[in-house]
Structure 1
Amino acid sequence: MKVPEAIGARLSRIGRARGGGSDGVTAPVRCDRRTKHLAKRLRPGDIAVIDHVDLDRVSAEALLDREVGAVLNTAPSISGRYPNLGPRLIVDAGIPLVDDVDPEVFARVHEGERLTLEGGTLLRGGSVLATGTVQTPEGVTAAMDAARAGIGVQLEAFAANTVEYLRSEHDLIFDGVGVPSVATPMEGRHVLVAVRGYRHSEDIAALRSYIREFRPVLIGVDGGADTLIEAGHRPDIVIGDFDCVSDEALSGGAELVVHAGRDGRASGLKRVRGLGREAAAFRGACTAEDAAMLLADDAGASLIVLAGSHSDLEEFLDRGRAAMAGMFLTRLRVGGKLVDARGAARLHRSRISPWSLLALAGAALPAVVVAAFTAPAGVGYADLLAPRWHVLAEYAYRLTGLFT
């Protein structure tokens, strides 16, 4: 697995921020048991302390995007339950990854203090604060191979989760119970759902011309709303728990839909009201990504383009959550309306634009006219073409219609 190019281009700057050279890393330490919350506070070169069993790719990319200097994990980054993708990204980027660190490290260190990581040992001066196991590329490869050997067990668990989800959420999946009505019109329109997940920025960038031409309804799923804003677009709807989305996205005029449980409890509602906004509630045990797709489908969208989401089985298992089984059923429900962003971008690029044809014809027309009317028989050409200009214009109009 390769480190994303946008991240890899910045990794050379991390070494300068470490201050410890090849013998160690000396930098401020920042701690949080929730990786996505910690990523917001990290600065280039920081030592990140997390508690994340089976570090997934999205979380690893978030750490790399913040140019982290080292990662200490109080949990195993690869437990062996399934081949999760995050550790490979970290070690391939040359970032020290230390696993099974003493959980007491969260109480022993102070946010922002400069400490030194030497191998698997975290030091304050000469005092040892915590130790752990350094992950190497060879060790990660061996652990991934062992996890793949037991993937059949995970597939069985995935299938069991799918059946259980179907029992508990069949009224949502098949009848739309819990899906709120929204003011944003989507009947017969394209809808682009942006998730802050795998290759989210690249997906949105690839769809720039598609968005400009088709003007789809833009739905940002939590941090996906910020991805749209960063790319110069304005979300029409923001949906999610609102725990990892900016105030700018929530206050930008988009219609808000808060993801709530079956009991109606929505942790993000308090934040929304604190900003002077109100939000409709989507009730269901599905993920916010599922909720966005079901919302668009229930509102009559003709096509749903999904950007930054999971595209294969390995990525589904990488998230390691029972709720991922719901994504499988949601995709069955949405059916042929759903298109992956990369596929949509390729199809759109291959389509011949009528304006491109007209531009080509317009560029060639002056040369043809000059050649015709400066030739010895130019007067004859003029006499021949003059009464037929309207016929040629009609043919040109019909030709562009074939490609629309």
Structure 2
Amino acid sequence: MRGRVRLGRRTKELAAQLQAQEIAVIAHEDLDAVGAAGLVEAGAAAVINAHSSLTCRYPNLGPRLLHAHGIPLLDNVGEEIFSLLADGDEVEIEGRKILKDGQVIAVGTVVTAHMIEERERIAQLNLPRELERFVSNTLEYAAREKDVILGEIQFPQLGITCVGKAVVVVVRGVGYREDLQVLAPFIQEAHPVLVGVDGGADALLQAGYRPHMIIGDMDSVSDTALRCGAEIIAHAYSDGRCPSAERLATLGVGFHMVPAPGTSEDLALLWAHEQGAELIVLVGSHSNMIDFLEKGRPGMASTFLTRLKIGPILLDAKRLSELYRPKTPYGALPLVLAALIPILIFMGLASPWRHYLRLFWLQLRLLVGWF
């Protein structure tokens, strides 16, 4: 295989710059599914990783995703690749070798289907140990962060009204497109406040919606999204340092800094809760240990505390998608609906079940074409 390379140490940022049929050169230990999906969407011809894409610490899904899309992955070529190549250089990949101008400049390991299966098997064996470490870190950080998360975070006063309304928070995690499709009828009818977390703002724009708010450290959101007219909250570290301040100032867009521990996803949920949202629907969420390990986080303290604080008004679009997936032939639909009537009446009288009922009704109408 021969092609031009594009280099980047942050896979998400590289994916946004990658041109179709370019060879991506990354430095990503335990390549995650979101990063791999970005490379697939960008049309990468092949991926060269300076590090190991499969360390067997836990079963990460990135390599399997690349293989499923027929994208070759060459692993462990070494950090020197970043000093030997520059954007636009043409290279040739011959098996384990990388050649430039006919000379071998690096040698790696070809990641095969058999290797992926074997490494995933070993990773499953290592999972209990990783889980124990993850739980310990979560509890340790929860004790440190509980006063901040469960207390009052000082959010700026903005011209967005959430009281008594639904808020949809979009994170560009695995399955975010499907999540947004599930919510399409709800968004059309309920007109919720739309919040994009970093690249989630671009996800909203691609789906045809303009975000009202963008929250995050702005490491994976496009300039186009930042200029779309949304209110912007830059997530700063607890000590006040704000990595995105320089970029936002250069773009000339107004923004507010909010220092807080935890993830930008958590900060967005807390903002919606503090603003009096009646219902918060989370799209593309990170909700399990693998999700957090793939993001390089050794625990999920802030996420645990955030969900503890928000309570029953938080709904996960992934769960909704599973709940509403039709499993009955349309011919039996009247019988199913008749059986559900007493249950739905009870749910409609109780909170928060009325929110589930409303979303169920909207999705059902979409499926049978009643819009």
TM-score, normalised by the number of residues in structure 1: 0.78
Query: Partners in 2 of 1:135 and 1:164 — Cα distance?
Result: 37
Query: Partners in 2 of 1:353 and 1:131 — Cα distance?
Result: 52
Question: Given the alignment of the two structures, is residue 279 of structure 1 paired with residue 289 of structure 2, yes or no?
Answer: no
The correspondence for 2:130, drawn from 111, 130, 154, is: 154
Q: 1:130-180 deviations in whole A, cap 9, x for unaligned?
A: 110111111111111111111111111111221222132112221123444
The correspondence for 2:279, drawn from 303, 315, 334, is: 303
Q: 1:165-219 deviations in whole A, cap 9, x for unaligned?
A: 2132112221123444433111221110011111112221221111011111100
Question: Given the alignment of the two structures, is residue 167 of structure 1 paired with residue 143 of structure 2, yes or no?
Answer: yes
RMSD: 2.2
1:130 maps to 106
1:60 maps to 36
**Cα 1:189–1:50, aligned 2, differ >3 Å: closer, same or farther?**
same
Query: Partners in 2 of 1:47 and 1:96 — Cα distance?
Result: 10
**Cα 1:289–1:323, aligned 2, differ >3 Å: closer, same or farther?**
farther
The correspondence for 1:351, drawn from 340, 348, 361, is: 361
Does 135-144 or 310-319 show the bigger shift?
310-319
**Cα 1:235–1:323, aligned 2, differ >3 Å: closer, same or farther?**
farther
Question: Given the alignment of the two structures, is residue 37 of structure 1 paired with residue 47 of structure 2, yes or no?
Answer: no
- Give 1:58 deviation, angstroms: 0.4
- Give 1:99 deviation, angstroms: 1.0
- Give 1:349 deviation, angstroms: 6.4
Q: Is the 8 A contact 1:159 1:325 kept in 2?
A: no
- Give 1:304 deviation, angstroms: 0.9
Number of residue pairs the alignment of both structures matches: 334
**Cα 1:185–1:275, aligned 2, differ >3 Å: closer, same or farther?**
same
For 1:141, what is the secondary structure of its paired residue?
A: helix
Residues 120-269 of structure 1: matches in 2 within 5 Å?
120-269=96-245
Query: Partners in 1 of 2:16 and 2:363 — Cα distance?
Result: 42
Unaligned runs of 5+ in 1: 1-24, 361-404
Q: 1:24-83 deviations in whole A, cap 9, x for unaligned?
A: x11101111111111122111111111101111100100111111111111111112111
**Computing the radius of gyration over CA atoms, which structure comes out larger, 1 or 2?**
1
TM-score, normalised by the number of residues in structure 2: 0.84
Which amino acid is 1:230 matched to? Q
* Higher RCO structure (Cα 8 Å, ≥6 apart): 2
**Cα 1:284–1:352, aligned 2, differ >3 Å: closer, same or farther?**
closer
Unaligned runs of 5+ in 2: 325-355
Question: Given the alignment of the two structures, is residue 87 of structure 1 paired with residue 63 of structure 2, yes or no?
Answer: yes
Which amino acid is 2:39 matched to? L
For 2:38, what is the secondary structure of its paired residue?
A: helix
